[in-house]
Amino acid sequence: MSTYLIGDVHGCYNQLQALLNQVSFNKDKDILWFTGDLIARGSSSLEVLQFIYSLGKVAKVVLGNHDLYLISVYSGIKQSYACDNIVSLLQHPEIEIFIDWLRNCPLVIVDEEKKLIMSHAGIFPYWNLSTALQYAREIEKYLKSDNYIDFLSQMYGDIPDIWNINLTKFELLRFSVNVFTRMRYCFLNGRLDFSCKTSPLSAPTNLLPWFLINTNIPTGYSIVFGHWSTLRNVSTPKNIISLDTGCCWGYELSMLRWEDKMYFQQSFHT
């Protein structure tokens, strides 16, 4: 049995299938972990969701910002745009099934045996693992509830952009959603920055990638994330694994086999 960790698919169905063919993926033996952002931008979001949903427990998915966006568009909280390429998905007769499935996906997955943590954008460096899981599970509880639309209506916004335990409950949860699904850079005082999306090689000097700030995550754990395609040619610390290599932008879809740490890539031009 092999465990494969796959970066942001973003509707690139053909590339996903070609990537899995490289390793002769066997759904009866292997497990797939997805860093989120399954949909949008690419041309085949419907096919991607249909395939991953069909895998059942073989697929482990963390929610990304685009997955939450799909739920919000479906719920009337957000407006869809043509460039998102999700019209056919929204019009599919089984869209409610996919939405319910996504609402029940986690924001963070932890495998204690493998010492492996996955979140779409990462883990806030000033949190320990217990705190991160506390906020993730609270958000997941709301997304699974019958009142999830009320939660979504309060979820969006850049403020608060710094963690403080004296924030209101929903301020803490909004901040946490942004950490798990939107975070890239922090100012030196830990304040989140949402404007800079470039490579750290050309970022302002007053910003640090979240993973270069001393973390409270125990030694021995690895954090796997996606979201940040401009990291595709940037080295990260040994236990920080970035898997979004910008397939939807014409680059590659990337996958890591956990057992032997071997990487596989599939070009956008299959």
Annotate 151-170 with DSSP letters as a single string: HHHHH--S---S--TTS-HH
Domain locations in the chain as residue ranges: 3-267
Assess contact for 117 and 108: CB atoms under 8 A. yes
- What are the tens digits of pLDDT across the range 163-205? 998 999 999 999 999 999 999 999 989 999 999 999 999 999 9
pTM over 0.85: yes
- What are the tens digits of pLDDT across the range 219-256? 899 999 999 999 998 999 999 999 999 999 999 999 99
- Write phi, then psi, for 202 (nearest 5 degrees): -130, 15
Who wins on pLDDT, 215 or 78? 78
* Closest alpha carbon to 223 in 120, 97, 81: 120
Determine how β-strand 252-257 pairs with β-strand 108-111. Answer: unpaired
How far is residue 74's CA from residue 68's CA, in Å, rounded to a whole number? Answer: 10
CATH fold group of domain 3-267: Purple Acid Phosphatase; chain A, domain 2 (3.60.21)
Q: Residue 1: in which H helix or E strand, if any?
A: none
